Structure 1
């Protein structure tokens, strides 16, 4: 009886997660202009609008550009910080690591407001550079934690062997250390890119409507004229996320890199 209840509970959770996805998918292929489910007639009309009209293409381009550069910034900071902390192996390193995790411990609205005031004070409010840097800095927590697992798995013996064979510190890093932590860095990069593409609050507070990302465009569409193209954009979000995770899982042990145990 307990086993049956557990299975029913799991299926109920699965249904709660899958049903909204199916409803949005149905709305996105509805040929009518009104929001309705189930669709009376199937059509890819709204996907055509999403990927052909300038009003949607510009936000998509902005979101992808911000995500690619912001993820590069985040991983670069996390990789450098983890390398230094790994070399130091001191209590101060732990303190710095905790500071790096800090952004995810604060409510997003506080981070967004702080960033908004900062960029306004230095005259960069409303610029795409401000959004990119904000995403790169505030999302550094993910790659910082993930890459730290890669450095934790490194053996000092490997580094010592490299030095014994005459490798310089730079060669040791590029030929030994970096290849070993690269899967962790790629995982961190992918996760930051996914979060950046889907992020609304920081983008809005830092740049307002001056830099229109896809989440901001969706908000504007819902606010000023709700059409099924919003459902198409939501499905594009979901498919982008699923696609990135699938590709990542093909080349890495994604669950292990995220900290799951195989035992």
Structure 2
């Protein structure tokens, strides 16, 4: 009986959490241009509009460009920093770890205002590359955490054995360290990519309405009325995130990536 009640409870919680997505998915297939649930009729034309309408397609391209580039820069920053923290075991080295996670600890609006003040001061507000750099700094915490977990999982005796065989630091990094942390590197990139794709506040504070990403496009479209395309974009975001994290779960150690150290053998 207790097992049955426990399962019923988790099913109820799951339905409660999934209810908003179910409503949005229903709205996204309305035949008419209205936000109603249950949907009236069925049409997938609103999903097609993301790719066929010039404005929505441009916003999609901007969002993908922003996410792909900023995530790559975030990983490029996090990799040498996490390598340094792993090789230099010293209390003062944690200062760099704190600097790496600081942008993500602060409320997003505070961080966004900081970026706005900086780019406006140097006269670069509204340039698309400022959003890329800002997102890279804002989301550097994610690859930093995953890579730190990856480095912590490395058996240092492997590194010592490679050094004993005559390998220098570059050879050790290429042949021993990089293959071991590669799943963590990919995961950190994926986390930064997905969150950058959905982020609104920092992007808006750095480029305003000069370049529309999908979140900014949705906000702008709300000023002129409601359309099921907005719901279609939301479902598209959720589906893309599910695919990315599903691949991480399939090809990576998801328990360790989430911070679990696993059982000691």
Q: TM-score range by the shorter chain?
A: over 0.9
Structure 1 residue 234, shift from structure 2 partner: 0.7
Q: Distance in 2 between the 1:7 and 1:243 partners?
A: 26
Q: Tell me if the contact between 1:67 and 1:192 (Cα under 8 Å) persists in the aligned partners.
A: yes
The answer as to 2:76 corresponding to 1:73 is no
Structure 1 residues 143, 25: closer, same or farther in 2, change over 3 A? same
- Structure 1 segment 52-131 matched on structure 2, within 5 A: 52-131=52-131
Q: Tell me if the contact between 2:50 and 2:60 (Cα under 8 Å) persists in the aligned partners.
A: no
Structure 1 residues 12, 255: closer, same or farther in 2, change over 3 A? same
DSSP-derived class of the 1:22 partner? helix
Gaps of 5+ in 2: none
- Structure 1 segment 201-240 matched on structure 2, within 5 A: 201-240=201-240
Q: Normalising to structure 1: TM-score of the pair?
A: 0.95
Structure 1 residues 261, 166: closer, same or farther in 2, change over 3 A? closer
Paired position in structure 1 for 2:253 = 253
Structure 1 residues 123, 140: closer, same or farther in 2, change over 3 A? same
Q: Tell me if the contact between 1:119 and 1:206 (Cα under 8 Å) persists in the aligned partners.
A: yes
Paired position in structure 1 for 2:139 = 139
DSSP-derived class of the 2:210 partner? coil
Q: Distance in 2 between the 1:162 and 1:19 partners?
A: 53
Q: Tell me if the contact between 1:68 and 1:193 (Cα under 8 Å) persists in the aligned partners.
A: yes
Q: How many residue pairs end up in the alignment?
A: 263
The answer as to 2:184 corresponding to 1:168 is no
Q: Distance in 2 between the 1:112 and 1:210 partners?
A: 16
Q: Distance in 2 between the 1:125 and 1:40 partners?
A: 44
Paired position in structure 2 for 1:14 = 14
Paired position in structure 2 for 1:49 = 49
Deviations 1:114-152 (A, max 9, x none): 000101111211111000000001101111111101111
Deviations 1:48-75 (A, max 9, x none): 2111011100110011001111111111
Task: Compute the RMSD of aligned alpha carbons.
Answer: 1.5
Deviations 1:15-54 (A, max 9, x none): 1211111111111111111111112211111112111011
Structure 1 residue 4, shift from structure 2 partner: 5.8
Paired position in structure 2 for 1:197 = 197
Gaps of 5+ in 1: none
Paired position in structure 2 for 1:184 = 184
Q: Distance in 2 between the 1:34 and 1:257 partners?
A: 41
Q: Tell me if the contact between 1:187 and 1:254 (Cα under 8 Å) persists in the aligned partners.
A: no
DSSP-derived class of the 1:42 partner? coil
Range with greater deviation from structure 2 (169-178 or 246-255): 246-255
Q: Normalising to structure 2: TM-score of the pair?
A: 0.94
Deviations 1:75-116 (A, max 9, x none): 111110011111110011112112211112111111000000
Q: Distance in 2 between the 1:49 and 1:97 partners?
A: 43
